[in-house]
Copies of this chain bind each other. A is one copy, B any other.
């Protein structure tokens, strides 16, 4: 099944707002076996909305709109849908009652214009909005085509999609959700992973296999297929090839995986950051319940702070420079001591764009893991800009801890271009 997504809103066409809905929807629809063949963004103008609907149905069976379902004068999607369908808007009293209840529950008088959100095109089925007011609309057309309208506010759009729309789409697809398995990996580039997976499963082809790289790792998605022997064998081979770098099948956040491992074993980690400047700690704090296993961290941006707070020797700073394996190591040990944590991670590097030298070029980074047994320090170089540098550095440091907690650090087949520095 093919689908076209139409995003509606003036703010999407003047640079004010980045459309994150289309990419999210495309990813989710892919998981349901529905392919997005085109996205169109139009302003809040009925003629342009209607023209986009026509074009959408020229090339696909499903059209999903987002935006323009709010209560104000410039929310024109409902009317445009009715005009396109050649039907009237009618008040849905159950929807209206639901909206009144929401306002009553909040103890607020419902502004009169909100009643507009209970108007729906004749023949449309409202989709319950559990986190907002405006319902989505599900409109099966006579010729088996399907028109769907969702609000533009991302949390509302997502809630309606997951809770109401996905089950209906699955029903129409014969109830078969393609069996997709995700393998979240860290520490291996897409090209190397692709090569290993292709080689391992070479007899079976690469159909139903997709790689989603980002600056924190690569997600491998496999359509696990018909469940016959062939499919099972192929799946086994792919899993085996990916295994050394796979940190989860369900949790994209490496900080959350690491946090889970720490939490279950009653251990803790602290941080000492220079080039990542707080990114590593803020990623750890993103994990709900982080206070159980993350006491805190130091952002030691100046040499003074590295020496005073973390106890990095001034002679070491002078002799080797702030960006050195010696300093990374000393920072990690200092943080563990300071916070009394089981483990500690440190980062020091040259994020760029300036500050590089021949000996220590832009992109160079050292990161260290303190463990009760000993402290490890690794060297790498990331040259795709400042933000990328900081994300990759924080993820590489976390990967060290993840491997250690899994008992796999020492025998790991490193593929991330890093090497351990022995001092």
Contacts and interface: CB of A to CB of B under 8 A. Distances in A.
Interface residues of A, number: 69
B23 A39 contact: no
A41 B39 contact: yes
Contact of A41 (B38, B290, B298): B38
B48 A37 contact: yes
Nearest to A384: B155
Interface string A263-286: 000000001010011111110111
A38 B42 CA distance: 5
A20 B18 contact: yes
B296 A300 contact: yes
Nearest to A15: B27
A301 B309 contact: no
A285 B351 CA distance: 10
Interface string A194-210: 00000000000000001
Copies in the complex: 2
A256 B285 CA distance: 25
Contacts of A271: 299
A168 interface: no
A162 B195 CA distance: 38
Interface string A316-354: 000000000000000000000011100000000000011
Given A155-B385, A296-B309, A304-B295, A19 B16 contact: no
Contacts of A39: 12-13, 39-41
Nearest to A214: B16
A238 interface: no
A299 B285 contact: yes
A193 to B, nearest CB: 15
Interface string A1-26: 00000000000111111111011111
B55 A26 contact: no
A43 interface: yes
Contacts of A212: 15-16
A30 B48 contact: no
A13 B37 contact: yes
21 contacts: A13-B38, A14-B27, A14-B36, A14-B210, A15-B26, A16-B27, A16-B210, A18-B23, A19-B23, A38-B40, A39-B39, A155-B385, A273-B278, A277-B286, A281-B301, A291-B301, A291-B302, A295-B304, A296-B299, A296-B300, A305-B339
